[in-house]
């Protein structure tokens, strides 16, 4: 029996004429319509050279066609490689050289025009559970991105677990305002909807007015903490009355945001914890206490332990390894199969998991991963810079803000930001540049970033 994730989507779709997606313009796309589009695109991709196991790299704006392309790549047995639209040409060039895709798709309309010539059929390429379904790039601590290899089994097991834990049914309507080039919006949201035979109100991006307008028609909303902070400016208890579940992830949700949302709407936000390499690992309970500041309990089938303060996980959700980097893969796994997440954590007496920080120096700003080493390397190339350190500090809107602490002469904050704006995605660019005489270092001459974080902890509190 084929373990192709798309085959699972098709098998679960009992009523093909049911709505799957609705756009803000009111256009309806049924399961049958999307499946037919995916068939046409899959045939077109195969005609252009796609064979099972080959990669298709995609950098395009969120749309229904994007989802159809994702399904088409799965259907044809290919490997989907989504890339953030904010990445510059130079950054994408690296992904292309590393992933070696047989096809690169940037113009979805042109892609669709080619696909229209094909007649929809029912063919789905058989795949095994361990066959690759996607490669998602996640920045490394050295500034060099790594491709996390996710299998059909990884994605299917995680979506099935989330469907059950979050009580998704065919009656649910998801308000989808997330980007779909990473795990949260693509796999957590869409895969779970597909396996529940649910529906989506599909927005091209987060728009507070549209979110509030559509909220009374939805039953579930997924978002990053930034969504909830911004919605608190206007949302009323009546707006949220029809929603049964608000889910937050991709960045830490401040306890004050959790409490403010409860007070304003009457709902406790459900926070969960995952990462590119593992999909979702834990979730606060659907029933029972959703503890502010905690990410809940391990999902069914996921084992979690703390070793030397670092969270390690094992389960069917955990990725196959890093693309083209067997040594890096081996270094990140224990001999017994546990993956070393790099996230510092603890488990309290009730079994709730708490994230305490990140041993790998990761900054998560607006739900997007930023690795300081990459930005530091760029800053050090600027004339006049003698030393620098990049850190993340608390930010009410973004969760964390990227801040550069620089030792240099003859430079202004604007000079540094302007020079970084060329060739570096906007979400990676520092929101502030602070000039100092020296960086704090320990006896081993290592920069004490913990000291810098404490020093600038309230930089954005005003």
* The pLDDT of residue 139: 56
Helices 152-165, 5-12: inter-axial angle, 10-degree rounding: 40
Residue 275 has pLDDT above 60, yes or no: yes
Phi, psi angle pair for 181, to nearest 5°? -100, 5
Task: Write out pLDDT tens, residues 394-417.
Answer: 998 899 999 999 999 999 999 999
Contacts for 215-219 with beta carbons within 8 Å, 24 or more apart? 215/175, 215/239, 215/240, 215/242, 215/243, 216/241, 216/242, 217/173, 217/242, 218/173, 218/174, 218/175, 218/242, 218/243, 219/171, 219/172, 219/173, 219/174, 219/243, 219/244, 219/245
In whole angstroms, what is the distance from residue 351 CA to residue 298 CA?
A: 9
- The separation between CA 323 and the C-alpha centre of its own chain, rounded to angstroms, equals 18
- Look at the pTM and tell me if it is higher than 0.95: no
Residue 358 has pLDDT above 90, yes or no: no
Where does the pLDDT of residue 142 fall: very low under 50, low under 70, confident under 90, or very high at 90 and above? very low
In the numeric block, which tokens belong to residue 189? 């949201």
Residue 259 has pLDDT above 50, yes or no: yes
- Enter the DSSP assignment of 243: -
Where does the pLDDT of residue 371 fall: very low under 50, low under 70, confident under 90, or very high at 90 and above? confident
Nearest to 271 by CA among 284, 257, 289: 284
Residue 32 has pLDDT above 60, yes or no: yes
What is the average pLDDT score of the chain?
94
* Lowest model confidence (mean pLDDT) among 26-40, 61-75, 327-341, 348-362: 348-362
Let me know how many helices (H) and strands (E) the chain has, helices first: 15, 24
Nearest to 197 by CA among 168, 229, 231, 238: 168
* The pLDDT of residue 141: 37
> How does DSSP assign 107-173, residue by residue?
-HHHHHHHHTTSPP--------TTSEEEEEEE--TTS--EEEEEEHHHHHHHHHHHHHHTT--TT-E
In whole angstroms, what is the distance from residue 246 CA to residue 248 CA?
A: 7
Task: Write out pLDDT tens, residues 98-123.
Answer: 999 999 999 999 999 999 999 999 99
* β-bridge partners, 9: none
What would the mean pLDDT of 368-394 be, rounded to a whole number?
90
* The pLDDT of residue 140: 45
High-pLDDT (> 90) share of the chain, %? 84
* The pLDDT of residue 256: 85
Task: Write out pLDDT tens, residues 184-243.
Answer: 999 999 999 999 999 999 999 999 999 999 999 999 999 998 899 999 999 999 999 999
Contact indicator for 421, 433 with CB cutoff of 8 Å: no
In whole angstroms, what is the distance from residue 361 CA to residue 371 CA?
A: 7
Q: Where do runs of H (alpha helix) occur along 312-367?
A: 326-332
Residue 330 has pLDDT above 50, yes or no: yes
In whole angstroms, what is the distance from residue 388 CA to residue 436 CA?
A: 9
In sign, the C-alpha dihedral spanning 107, 108, 110, 111 is positive
Phi, psi angle pair for 211, to nearest 5°? -60, -45
- The separation between CA 68 and the C-alpha centre of its own chain, rounded to angstroms, equals 19
Residue 360 has pLDDT above 70, yes or no: no
- In 3-state terms the chain splits into helix, strand, coil percentages (rounded to 5) of 30, 25, 40
Q: Assign 60 to helix, strand or coil.
A: coil
Ordered structural domains, the chain, with CATH: 5-357 (3.40.50.12780), 363-455 (3.30.300.30)
Contact indicator for 148, 136 with CB cutoff of 8 Å: yes
- The separation between CA 18 and the C-alpha centre of its own chain, rounded to angstroms, equals 28
In whole angstroms, what is the distance from residue 275 CA to residue 438 CA?
A: 35
In whole angstroms, what is the distance from residue 226 CA to residue 228 CA?
A: 5
* The pLDDT of residue 462: 66
High-pLDDT (> 70) share of the chain, %? 97
């Amino acid at each position: 029996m084929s373990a192709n994730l798309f085959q699972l989507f098709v098998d679960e779709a009992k009523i093909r004429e049911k709505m799957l997606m609705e756009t803000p313009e009111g256009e309806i796309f049924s399961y049958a319509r999307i499946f037919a589009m995916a068939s046409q695109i899959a045939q077109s991709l195969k005609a252009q050279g796609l064979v099972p196991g080959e990669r298709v790299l995609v950098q395009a704006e969120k749309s229904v066609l994007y989802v159809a392309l994702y399904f088409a790549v799965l259907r044809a047995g290919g490997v989907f490689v989504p890339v953030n639209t904010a990445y510059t040409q130079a950054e994408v060039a690296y992904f292309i050289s590393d992933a070696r895709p047989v096809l690169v798709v940037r113009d979805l309309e042109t892609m669709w025009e080619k696909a229209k010539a094909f007649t929809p059929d029912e063919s789905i390429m058989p795949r095994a559970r361990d066959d690759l379904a996607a490669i998602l790039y996640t920045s490394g601590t050295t500034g060099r991105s790594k491709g996390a290899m996710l299998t059909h089994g990884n994605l299917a097991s995680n979506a099935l677990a989330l469907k059950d834990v979050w009580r998704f049914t065919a009656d649910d309507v998801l308000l989808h305002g997330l980007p779909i080039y990473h795990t949260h919006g693509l796999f957590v949201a869409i895969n779970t909807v597909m396996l529940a035979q649910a529906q989506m109100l599909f927005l091209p991006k987060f728009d507070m007015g549209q979110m509030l307008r559509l909220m009374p028609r939805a039953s579930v909303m997924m978002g990053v903490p930034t969504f909830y902070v911004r919605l608190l400016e206007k949302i009323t208890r009546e707006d949220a009355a029809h929603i049964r579940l608000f889910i937050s992830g991709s960045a830490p949700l401040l306890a004050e945001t959790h409490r403010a949302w409860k007070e304003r709407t009457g709902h406790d936000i459900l926070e969960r914890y995952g990462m590119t390499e593992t999909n979702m690992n834990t979730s606060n309970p659907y029933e029972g206490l959703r503890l502010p500041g905690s990410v809940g309990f391990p999902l069914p089938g996921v084992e979690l332990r703390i070793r030397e303060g670092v969270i390690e996980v094992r389960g069917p959700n955990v990725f196959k390894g890093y693309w083209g980097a067997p040594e890096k893969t081996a270094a990140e796994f224990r001999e017994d199969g546990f993956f070393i997440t790099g996230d510092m954590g603890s488990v309290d007496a009730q079994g709730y998991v708490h994230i305490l920080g990140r041993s790998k120096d990761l900054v998560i700003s607006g739900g997007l991963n930023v690795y300081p080493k990459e930005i530091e390397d760029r800053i050090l190339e600027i004339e006049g810079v003698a030393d620098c350190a990049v850190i993340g500090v608390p930010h009410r809107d973004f969760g964390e803000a990227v801040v550069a602490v620089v030792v240099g002469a003859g430079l202004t904050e604007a000079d540094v930001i302007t020079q970084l704006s060329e060739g570096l995605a906007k979400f990676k660019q520092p929101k502030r540049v602070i000039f100092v005489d020296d960086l704090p270092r320990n006896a081993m001459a290592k920069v004490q970033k913990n000291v810098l974080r404490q020093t600038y902890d309230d930089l954005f509190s005003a």
